[in-house]
Each structure stands twice: as structure tokens, then as C-alpha cells.
Structure 1
Amino acid sequence: MKRILILVLLIAVSFSCKEEFINLQPISDMNAGVFYKTEQDMNQAVMSPYASLRNVYNQLFIYMGEVRSDNTTFSWVPGDSKNMTSIDNFGDVMLSDNTFVLNFWNNVYNTILRCNIVLDKIDAVPFKDPKLKEQYKAEAKFVRALMYFWLVRVYGDVPKVDKQLSVSEAYAVGRTSTQEIYDFIVEDLKFAEANLPVSYATVDKGRVTVGGAKGLLAKVYMTMAGFPLKKGASHYALAEAKALEVISMPTYSLVPDYKALFDVKNENTAESLFEIQYKKGGTTTGSPWNNDFAPRFSNREVVLVGDKSGFNAPTPSISAAYETGDPRKTVSMSDNYVAVPGGNTVNEKYVRKYYDVSFAGSDNDNNWIELRLADVYLLYAEALVRQGKQSETALVYLNKIRQRARNSTGGSASILADYPPFTSSEAFLLAIEKERRVELAFENHRWFDLVRTERAKTVMSQEQKEQNGFNPASWSDNMLLFPIPLSVIQSNPDKIKQNPGY
């Protein structure tokens, strides 16, 4: 019974990953009598949160972000599930019993549970190297911070769970304020920043580094500066400083060719601060993106093996956002494909950025790049402009992104000219917003950019009017958050209340 209880609480890793640091014997296969006794046991325990990220970074997290934005849509048709259509169409009322909303919540909290198990158990385990113990704690705290960053942006106030809870303790936990959740995220990331290494040996490549912690902290500060907390100048300054620390690290540099950045043979590059690791081959560790993003009604023209789901289909507005000749568009998306048989052109847009030759359906090698240097460059430029200072430096980093694009495969010196100095901060910020949109397209940043900059109402009202006949007068800021899952409220109605508008 004790062994079963431990296995249930741990929900331990039962699969391997291409990076050898995850390719370890699952703790669930070990005898409970030697559970959490050695450094090696704890190393295996730390693998559990990493592995659980693959359950978070699936279709659901795309629904919670990119599909909610003006970048992508479902290839939905009449009769499709309201669970899907209400996420994409602001005029279609989203219900709190939406299964996608619930499943994402559960997947994220399951990952937090795994982090808390590591942190609850590790101090009782003797380590020869005290720094290694602190590193393992830092890895768990980074993943926990990343998960709470997702939760607070998607749902707003959420329960803060920082340890394993009994059933009675769980029922005593209500929603924690957005401010307190962000403070908790910052606390975890500062610990991670202080205790993570700069890099790892090849065998451990893929584990989070100090650069990953600094980069995520910069992004958290930028978000805190904007909506909903509106911390303003103080946090733009914090974001600026932290982004500059990343930029100044010799570990990181832009990959010279944008196309190479997304080649499955070039994962965990010098541009990458943190990636979710995947490995195809029938071991349940492959990524689903190749199949999920293929045109819904295609046959074998785009993807040879498995279903084609049409999730995350590019909108006309993102297609039009690329300047003429921008090679990033060819890497990132296509406006059509050629039908086989027949040879006719089918005008159905799809994401190409995550292409791979599938081992089987939804079994591909693509890692998910959660954070990369180009993102940090643009955050740094934005933080400077929002403080009204160093416009020349901000312009340099904005133009570095365009320079890389025009020097990439398919580019030329005649495209994507450097931006000249801007005459207003408003114009400068819109240029940064546009560059973030096309540079980071389909990487799940757009919706959260629109929310934190308070541009969601303007941009999405117009997009929804064009795509779905949405009446802009019907806009409500309640749409900026998803509902708390109904079953969560029903399980603890005295402590958990619903978001406004649901």
C-alpha cells in the first residue's frame, strides 16, 4: 500500500526522452524502501517535472494562447465542438465546463505537484556536493515558476500550492491574488537564477540554465509592468536590466539563419534559452505539432503519416503582416498546398515552422522553443522605449532581428530595410509589436503580448469582426481571462469563485 501511495503521489516519469538527462529509470520502478535516499534518486525525481512539461505543451496550451489571438484560428466547420469554437470566436460564449480549459488546468497543476514533491523531499537526502542539491531545487523552482506564469496569465487569481497537500489541506486553499502569484514566481526565479549553471555537459543538455531563469524573469517583469498589475516604470527597468544580463552572456547569440533555427537537427541552439524536449520513435515522447498544424482536409500532401488536425491555422492578417520577401514567412507558414492527386492549389493556410518527417501520427522530433534570444532582444528594446530612454540602443536591437531575417535563406539585401529613427514612442512600440508578431509567429506569445500591452481590445475586436462577424461593442475585458473550470469550483465552492463574465 505504501508503494502504491507513493506512486500515485509522484505520478513519476514512465518514459524516456532523446536528451540523455531524461533517459533514466523511472522512480516508479524502484523499491519504495530506497525511495529518495541518494543524489541519483533525486536526479531522477527532478526529471519528472521536465517530463510533465510535455503534457502541458500540447494542443491545449496553443488553445490558451495563439488561437485566442489574431495569429491563428481553428479550421473549424459547422457542427464542431463548442469547446473549440468558443476559444476562437469571441462571439461564441465560452462555458466554464469547457473540457480544454479543465484539462489545461489539470496538466499544469500536475506539473506543479511534481515540482513540489522534489522540493519537499530533497532536504532529507544527503548530498556530497551541496551546490548540486541547490541546483536540483533551482530546476524544480524554475519549472514551477513557468507553470504559475501560465496559470496567472490564463486564469488570473489561482490557488498557490507550494507543497504536497493532504485532501483536507487542499480543500482549504482558495484563489491567491494575481499580485501574490507573481511575487511567488519572482521568488522562485531568483532562487533559480542564483543556483543554476551557465551550461551543462552534452549528456545533460536541455536542462534549464541560469540564462533560462534570467530570460523568463525578464519576461515576467515585462508582464508585471503592463496589464493587469500595471507596475509601470519600476518593472520596465527591472525587465531592461535582466534582459541586458542575458544579452551580455557570451553563451547566447542569434542563429545566423532563421530557417536553421527550426530544423530538428539544430535543437538547443545558441539562441535557445529553454526548450521542451521531444523525441520521436514510438516511445510516447514525440511532439504532435507536425500533425496538429497540418491542413485539416489535406491527404498526404503536407504530412505523410497520421491525422491532420488543422489546429493553429494562420489567419489572413498574420499572412499579410509579413513584408514582401520576408523569408520568415516561408519558414513559418504557407498560404496553400498542392493537392495530390489532381495538382490543384488548395488555399488552406497552415503552420510550417514545426515540420518533421513523422515516425507515426503525432510522433515527431521537434522541440518546443519556449524562450529564445530574439524574444529577449525585442523585450529589451520595448522596455527601453517604454521608459523613454536610449532610443538609439532600442533601435539597434530591433534592427538586429530584421538584419538576421534578410540575411537568412531566401532573403536578400533589398528586403527588410533597417527601421530609421522613430518620431514618436507610439510608432516605435507599434514597430516592435509588429516585429514580435512575425519573428515569434506561432510560438504562443502573441495573445499575451496583446493583453499585457492593453492592445487586445483594439486588435481583437477588428480581427473578430473580420473573421467571425463579431460586434466590437460586445467586447468585455472579461474575455482577457479564461473561466475557472466548473469542476474545480464544484469541488471547493466555499473557496473557489468564478471569474467575472462566466
Structure 2
Amino acid sequence: MKKLLIILLVTFTLVSCKKDFIDLQPISDMNAGNFYRTEIDMNQAVMSPYASLRSLYNQSFIYVGEIRSDNTTFSWVPGNSKDMTSIDNFKDVLLSENTYVLSVWNNSYSTILRCNIVLDKIDAVPFTDKKLQNQYKAEAKFLRALMYFWLVRTFGDVPKVEHQLTVKEAYDLGRAPSQEIYDLIVEDLKFAETNLPATYAAADKGRVTIGGAKGLLTKVYMTMAGYPLKKGASHYALAEAKALEVIGMGQYSLVPDYKSLFDVSKKNSSESLFEIQYKKGGTGTGSPWNNDFAPRFSNREVVLVGDKGGFNAPTPDMSKAYETSDPRKTISMSDSYVSVPGGKTITEKYVKKYYDVSFSGSDNDNNWIELRLADIYLLYAEALVRQNKQFDVALNYLNKIRQRARNSTGGSASVLPDYLPFSSAAAFLLAIEKERRVELAFENHRWFDLVRTERAKDVMSAEQLEQNGFPAGSWSDHMLLFPIPLQVIQSNPEKIKQNPGY
């Protein structure tokens, strides 16, 4: 069976929920056909798409969200890896055979399939509590919406799969217009926000809540307002309203110390709307980033246990984006390290936002924060400015981010001072863009911010010229999307066509 059909048709092994939500272990030799009989079975089934997120956030989404942008690059590349360099260096041809692009596609649809299994099976299972049944549906729909949001921003038009497919259905399936995908995303998230709880008991902490659904819907509306759909004012207004709903819930607040956001002992904080859950300990559920991001040839100066990857290194432009004495820079990245032994300063940039001591290899305890309140504050401010309204309110929320940043080290107002009123909306928007970059650095937002605001051409052309000798006039808008993987096209060439320019 061809690759796409394998992805869309195969029934995946599920994971069970033991004493707490993150303790995810596979069910051995489970027959999916006769498994879905009880509420407990369905709870275990819902855990499956949550677990599969780790394969995407471990690395795949970092390639398309950060390395494609002006934020990060590679400090070390094995051999002659065009799969890596073509994502980062726009002079290299980004081929449809790229294994990292294929991984984004395959793992996203694998997760969607797991969500669809839940949604296809759950109505036949007797529930004593209809509210719980709808909660499980809402979790599956949120995760499906999250995957489609990544897919549509990465590839544009993609197949819309809302249930498990027969072979014939799979062969008849083409790429749905992006508008249809966004319609499905919005529909799923509206169901999710209506049927999810606001909080969970400690054992289930990490499952998505109402706040997570509202936060993602805020981002979706902002994206729809910008490029490529360009819905404009109507969707900036929708984003504004949804952001206010998150803020008005009263259960989320900026943590006082920026550094504590990424402290492995303080996961799922008051600022977090949704995190991908990881747990170290040799169970295969740990996170790799502290090791992956460390300079390849460093010793124990950067990480104490395990290998170093030289992956996702900050660019010189990213380093310069921080204002002098901005505490977020030293928390998020470093421009160098001191070698041990020898005491020599090695000038090599690396991300240190996700520090932990690995259990072994690349097995750390960091979660990945997909949605947090600071992101919502900045989107709210931007939505107001783009509607030319309430600039004073927008300024207040923009400055809340700066105030937290400087207070992280007990700094005075002379360090990272508040913004004063801007002379124009354009200047205001550039300040928000800059603040989003440094506040959310290395969290997979930058590339998609540049695309939706139609800033990618100007920003990336300048960055690529400086870093990679990108010839003037070489930009093409086809670079805003990634190629459809060749294996996917070969699986169904009559229905799946390549993006223009590839």
C-alpha cells in the first residue's frame, strides 16, 4: 500500500493512562477492532493522540517554525545534509524528497488518525456521564484542529480527513482548499471550548482545557485575518474577542519570573494554556532539546549528560534582537561558552531555554509550551492596533510583557523601559513584532508570524543575504509554503498535486 494510504488507513497502537496523565505506556497487542467498549477504553484512546504529539514537537515543528525563520540555524550539520540546509538556506533547493518535511506530514496525519478513531468509536460506547463523553470528543477535536493548523500553515491546501477512510475513499481524496481546512479547525475548536473543563484534577493535569481551546482559536483567527486568506477586520475582531475571553477567565496570569516558565519543576504554570507533556526516566517520554540544542563539540560546559546536537542555534540577528540587559536573552540563549578544560571562550550560540540534566542520552523533563498567556496578550494588542482602536489598551498589554521581563531579575524601569505611545500604527506593529520575537523566541512562532503579517519577504531576504549570500531579487512567494512530500504525491498522483514553485 502506498505511503499516504498507510498513514490514513492504519489503526495505531494506543496508549494507556495509569496513575497520572503523563505516565503513558503502550497497550501490548491490543486489537483495535474490539477494544472500544467502555469509558475506560475511550479514556485510553484519547491518550493516544496526546502521546503522538511528542514525535512532532521533538524536532519536526522546530524545523518549520524556527529554523525556516531568521531566529535559528545549524551550528553543525552532519555530512552534506541538504535535507537540513535547504530548510534553513533559501539558496538551496527545498526538495519534495526532504525527510523532515515528510516527517511533519506523516506524523501530523498519524495524530489526526488517532483523533478520528476516538471520534468514530465513541458514540457506540455507553457512557454514564454524557458530559464526560463530550469532553473526550472535545479533546480529540482540539488535537485534530491543532494538527490541521500546523498542516495548513505549512503546506497550504491539504487533504481533509474527518474519519477513518476506506481504500476507495483514500484514493478519491485530494487536497481541500485552505478555507475548508480553516472552517474545520474553527468548528472543532468551537466544540472544544464548549465541552472542555476549565481545570483538571492533579492526575490529569496537562490535558487541554477551555483556555487552551480559546487560546488556539485566538491564534487561528489572527492567522485567518492575515496572509493568505486575508480576512482582515472581521477576523481581527474575532481574535480580539476570543483573546479577551481568555484574559477574562481569571485563571491565567503571567508568572513573575520569565525563567520559571521553563523550569522543569514548575511545569503547567498559571501562564500555560497548553503544554506537550514529557517525562524523563528511560520510558521514551523524555524531551531532547537541551541535548539537541547544545553546541556539537562542547563538553560538560553546556549539558552534563548525553550527546550534543548543534541543532537550532540562534542566528546573529536573533542575538542582536534583544535590547541591552534584556533578562530574556540570558535565560533563552547564549553567545558563547567557556571550554572545560582550558577555560577558553568558544564563540558559538546556542539555545538554553530548555535546560535540564538528562536521565540518559537525550532524556529530559522539559515540557513544550504550545500556548501561553504572553502570546495571547501580544495577539490581543496586535488585533487592537490592526483595527485602529484602543491604542492605550494595546500599549498596556504590550508593556505588561516588558514589565514581567525586567522584573525577572528585579530590574529597574531603566532596564527594558515601558514603550511610550507610538507615532503611528505601523511603528506600533513593528514593536509588537519585535516583542513577539524575543518573548516567544525558540517556541515555534516566528516563521508563521512573518508569513501571516506578510513580512517574510522583507525580513528573510535581508537575513538570507547577510547569512547565506542570498542573491538580491531571488525571493519567490512559493517559499512561504513547503513542498508536498514526493511520497504523498506518488501515492495518489491523480489527486495530490505539488505546490507551485516546487
Aligned partner of 1:10 in structure 2 is 11
Aligned partner of 1:372 in structure 2 is 372
Name the SS for the 2:473 alignment partner: helix
Aligned partner of 1:313 in structure 2 is 313
Cα deviation for residue 357 of structure 1 reads 0.6
Structure 1 unmatched runs, 5+: none
Aligned partner of 1:242 in structure 2 is 242
> Take 2:464 and 2:306, find their aligned partners in 1: how far apart are those partners?
31
> Take 1:24 and 1:293, find their aligned partners in 2: how far apart are those partners?
26
Name the SS for the 2:275 alignment partner: strand
Aligned partner of 1:269 in structure 2 is 269
> Take 1:412 and 1:423, find their aligned partners in 2: how far apart are those partners?
25
Alignment TM-score, normalising by the size of structure 2? 0.96
Q: Deviations over 1:129-154 (max 9, x none)?
A: 00100000000000000000000000
Aligned partner of 1:253 in structure 2 is 253
Cα deviation for residue 360 of structure 1 reads 1.0
Aligned partner of 2:420 in structure 1 is 420
Paired residues, number: 495
Task: Please tell me the residue identity of whatever aligns with 1:104.
Answer: V
Aligned partner of 1:470 in structure 2 is 470
Cα deviation for residue 358 of structure 1 reads 0.5
Cα deviation for residue 413 of structure 1 reads 3.1
Pick closer, same or farther for the CA change 1:97–1:410 going to 2, 3 Å: farther
Instruction: Report if aligned partners of 2:22, 2:277 keep a CA contact under 8 Å in 1.
Output: no
Task: Please tell me the residue identity of whatever aligns with 1:298.
Answer: S
Aligned partner of 1:408 in structure 2 is 408
Task: Please tell me the residue identity of whatever aligns with 1:65.
Answer: G
Matches within 5 A, 1:325-474: 325-409=325-409, 411-474=411-474
Task: Please tell me the residue identity of whatever aligns with 1:329.
Answer: K
Instruction: Report if aligned partners of 2:22, 2:279 keep a CA contact under 8 Å in 1.
Output: no
Cα deviation for residue 26 of structure 1 reads 4.1
> Take 2:280 and 2:13, find their aligned partners in 1: how far apart are those partners?
20
Task: Please tell me the residue identity of whatever aligns with 1:71.
Answer: N
> Take 2:410 and 2:359, find their aligned partners in 1: how far apart are those partners?
29
Instruction: Report if aligned partners of 1:27, 1:45 keep a CA contact under 8 Å in 2.
Output: no
Q: Deviations over 1:367-419 (max 9, x none)?
A: 00000000000000000000000000000000000000111126333211111
Q: Deviations over 1:267-311 (max 9, x none)?
A: 000100000000000000000111111112212211122221111
Task: Please tell me the residue identity of whatever aligns with 1:229.
Answer: L
Name the SS for the 2:402 alignment partner: helix
Cα deviation for residue 12 of structure 1 reads 2.3
Alignment TM-score, normalising by the size of structure 1? 0.96
> Take 1:412 and 1:346, find their aligned partners in 2: how far apart are those partners?
31
Matches within 5 A, 1:162-311: 162-311=162-311
Aligned partner of 2:116 in structure 1 is 116
Instruction: Report if aligned partners of 1:15, 1:284 keep a CA contact under 8 Å in 2.
Output: no
Name the SS for the 1:64 alignment partner: helix
Percent pairwise identity: 80
Task: Please tell me the residue identity of whatever aligns with 2:217.
Answer: L
Instruction: Report if aligned partners of 1:252, 1:270 keep a CA contact under 8 Å in 2.
Output: yes
Task: Please tell me the residue identity of whatever aligns with 2:251.
Answer: T
Instruction: Report if aligned partners of 1:489, 1:496 keep a CA contact under 8 Å in 2.
Output: yes
Q: Deviations over 1:298-353 (max 9, x none)?
A: 12211122221111100111111111111100110000000111110000000010
Instruction: Report if aligned partners of 1:294, 1:310 keep a CA contact under 8 Å in 2.
Output: yes
Q: CA RMSD in A?
A: 1.6
Moved more, 386-395 or 57-66: 57-66
Q: Deviations over 1:85-123 (max 9, x none)?
A: 000000111111111111111011000000000000000
Instruction: Report if aligned partners of 2:86, 2:92 keep a CA contact under 8 Å in 1.
Output: yes
Instruction: Report if aligned partners of 1:16, 1:285 keep a CA contact under 8 Å in 2.
Output: no
Name the SS for the 1:93 alignment partner: coil
Cα deviation for residue 472 of structure 1 reads 3.0
Cα deviation for residue 15 of structure 1 reads 7.4
Instruction: Report if aligned partners of 1:325, 1:411 keep a CA contact under 8 Å in 2.
Output: no
> Take 1:158 and 1:33, find their aligned partners in 2: how far apart are those partners?
28
Pick closer, same or farther for the CA change 1:31–1:177 going to 2, 3 Å: closer
Structure 1 position 488 matched with structure 2 position 488: yes
Aligned partner of 2:497 in structure 1 is 497
Task: Please tell me the residue identity of whatever aligns with 1:313.
Answer: A
